[in-house]
Amino acid sequence: MTLQETLEIKIKEAVKSIYDTELPSVELQPTRKDFEGDITTVVFPMLRVVKGNPVQIGESIGNYLVENVEEIEKFNVVQGFLNIVLSDSYYLNFFNSVTNFSTYGKVPQGSEALMVEYSSPNTNKPLHLGHVRNVLLGYSVSEIEKAAGKKVYKTQIINDRGIHICKSMLAWEKFGNGETPESTNLKGDKLVGNYYVKFDQEYKKEIVALKAEGKTEDEAKAQAPLMLEAQNMLRKWEAGDKETVDLWSKMNGWVYEGFEETYKSIGVDFDLYYYESDTYLLGKDIIDEGLKKGVFFKKDDGSVWCDLTEDGLDEKLVLRSDGTAVYMTQDLGTAVQRVKDHQDVGGMIYTVGNEQDYHFKVLFLILKKLGYKWAENLFHLSYGMVDLPSGKMKSREGTVVDADDLIAQMTATAREISEELGKIDEFSDEEKEVLYRTIGLGALKYYILKVDPKKRILFNPEESVDFQGNTGPFIQYTYARIQSILRKAASTSKSVDSSEVTMHPKEKELIKIIKQYPEAIQLAAQNYSPALIANYTYDLVKEFNSFYQNVPILATDNEVEKAFRVKLSAAVGEVIKSAFALLGIQVPERM
């Protein structure tokens, strides 16, 4: 039985014993930092069944708890809040009971799997800053769900077909002179992305020329020769024309190699890949099934719709009148196919920007109406856009912030700041480069993940690589400081008997935060929010730094105190490392 459960029982016992009445429920919460205490019970809701002054009721219950619960040392009542102070021995016993803080808080994997989709790029351009937030969120949520006991499949659907892909292909064919990633020394995704931009530039020239001939804007856009050729190329691809399909395969192959290099650089991975070229025909069988069930209806022109007006939405097209699929058709088919492929999947998380909120509301509702049990466990991990101080990004115009360039910039900023601080002179050049990259990537990931996913971010690279405040480098530096303490204390291997330790209040506060780590993981998993892990880690690190500044660790003459403080520091280090791993962030042994 947990202490919380014990307290709930004992508080009900107290009310029964003192007031001879049954208390239906007990409200417990962590004590606010400005009051003494560890757990607070709110007296006000009790007034529905217990008549009297809330302060006196709190005092009576507090006295009963001190007498009847071994772990409670004392209490105080502030207005209608009973603040309970737990004994040092309670925290010491907990601390000594954990055999391995590197795995502490993580739950063994269950049988039901969760599929997390993230990245899902187009194969006509490199990954950019917007993708970075997507992949960091998707990867981190996957790791958090695993820590909370879920089996997780990390997946993406690659948008490898459509008019946008044909634009890059056509521009390369017309203006590329046979260029390859090898001949240009460019990553494949960058080379293909350049031709997407090139198409847009040449297309705009044609529009200007046609308008000069007297065409309207819309006429010029529709009649521009390049656009007509791109549309023809798409028709040829859909008809399976060998030359077109070969070119498509070659250029997509370049892009995939480029993507993999970027993913490796960012430090994310995938278990499964789905391709739109395979899935765009899926879903038509589901439409037939839905028509039979009455979930869909046909209009006079032959198009198929789903009426969601009773659910507060609108009518949604699921199949065009000519029998061709729309995105919704494809997404229905892909979801069902994924569960067919992996029958242990009991739910899915889609990491997609908030501009698609409505689409996913509709998708999930239709899947529920079709009767799929797992459709109850679908979640759209909706996130806000990432802006830079310079403004919005546009891929067609080539003004996006390239993910690879961003990582290089972050590494360069970390190098500049680290060299100014001058604390790594004894590092080899290779060690320095690894450290700069670790700090730069840690700064980027933490800055993005510490923000609630739903909020828009203004990303400031310089601000993120600050060694003070709520930043990745500040937390990494604290971890490195702890490792330095452990190296100096290597000879201290004394086991700690809790009866010998007199705890400093700062030590108690640290253990209290460590104890909250399993709850932080579960809460982050329930809310699909890496921000909760980031903020938990920052709170732990702030508390450790306060402990470090106020309590001598290696400087104490008391060997029991020294051994305990070293062991406590090591535990904090393990939890920082574990929590940062859930965010996909590495921690350096030295800084």
Average pLDDT over residues 467-488: 94
Measured CA to CA, the distance from residue 155 to residue 114 in angstroms comes to 10
DSSP assignments along 393-432, one per residue: --TTTT-S-BHHHHHHHHHHHHHHHHHHHT--TTS-HHHH
Percent of the chain with pLDDT over 90: 83
Whether residue 163 has pLDDT greater than 60: yes
Which residues are registered as beta bridge partners of 75?
84
**What pLDDT is recorded for position 498?**
61
**pLDDT per residue as tens digits for the range 522-578:** 999 999 999 999 999 999 999 999 999 999 999 999 988 999 999 999 999 999 999
Closest of 189, 169, 176, 180 to residue 229, by C-alpha: 169
**pLDDT per residue as tens digits for the range 300-324:** 999 999 999 999 999 999 999 998 8
Maximum distance among all alpha carbons in the chain? Answer: 94
Q: Around Cβ 311, how many Cβ atoms within 10 Å?
A: 13
pLDDT band at 106 (very low <50, low <70, confident <90, very high): very high
Closest of 355, 410, 450 to residue 130, by C-alpha: 355
Task: Outline where 450-591 has alpha helix (H).
Answer: 461-464, 472-488, 505-515, 517-527, 530-550, 559-582
**What pLDDT is recorded for position 448?**
96
Task: Outline where 20-156 has alpha helix (H).
Answer: 54-68, 88-97, 129-147
Q: Around Cβ 204, how many Cβ atoms within 10 Å?
A: 16
pLDDT band at 47 (very low <50, low <70, confident <90, very high): very high
Structure tokens at 398: 């080539």
pTM: 0.91
**pLDDT per residue as tens digits for the range 365-399:** 999 999 999 999 999 999 998 887 765 444 444 45
**What pLDDT is recorded for position 129?**
87
Return the exposure string of 526-536: e unless at least 16 CB atoms fall within 10 Å of the residue's CB, then b.
eebbbbbbbbb
Closest of 75, 91, 2, 86 to residue 43, by C-alpha: 75
**What pLDDT is recorded for position 281?**
84
**What pLDDT is recorded for position 398?**
46
Structure tokens at 165: 């892909």
**pLDDT per residue as tens digits for the range 246-267:** 999 999 999 999 999 999 999 9
| Segments of 18-71 assigned E as strands | 28-30, 39-42
Measured CA to CA, the distance from residue 457 to residue 455 in angstroms comes to 6
Closest of 551, 544, 550, 554 to residue 489, by C-alpha: 554
pLDDT averaged over every residue in the chain: 93
Measured CA to CA, the distance from residue 463 to residue 427 in angstroms comes to 25
Contact, 101 vs 570, CB < 8 A? Answer: yes
Decide: residue 174, CB within 10 A, 0-12 exposed, 13-18 middle, 19+ buried: middle
* Residues with Cβ within 8 Å of residue 15, at least 6 apart in sequence: 21, 22, 23, 46, 49, 50, 61
Average pLDDT over residues 208-227: 95
**What pLDDT is recorded for position 501?**
84
Whether residue 340 has pLDDT greater than 80: yes
Contact, 123 vs 165, CB < 8 A? Answer: yes
Q: Around Cβ 491, how many Cβ atoms within 10 Å?
A: 6
Measured CA to CA, the distance from residue 152 to residue 269 in angstroms comes to 12
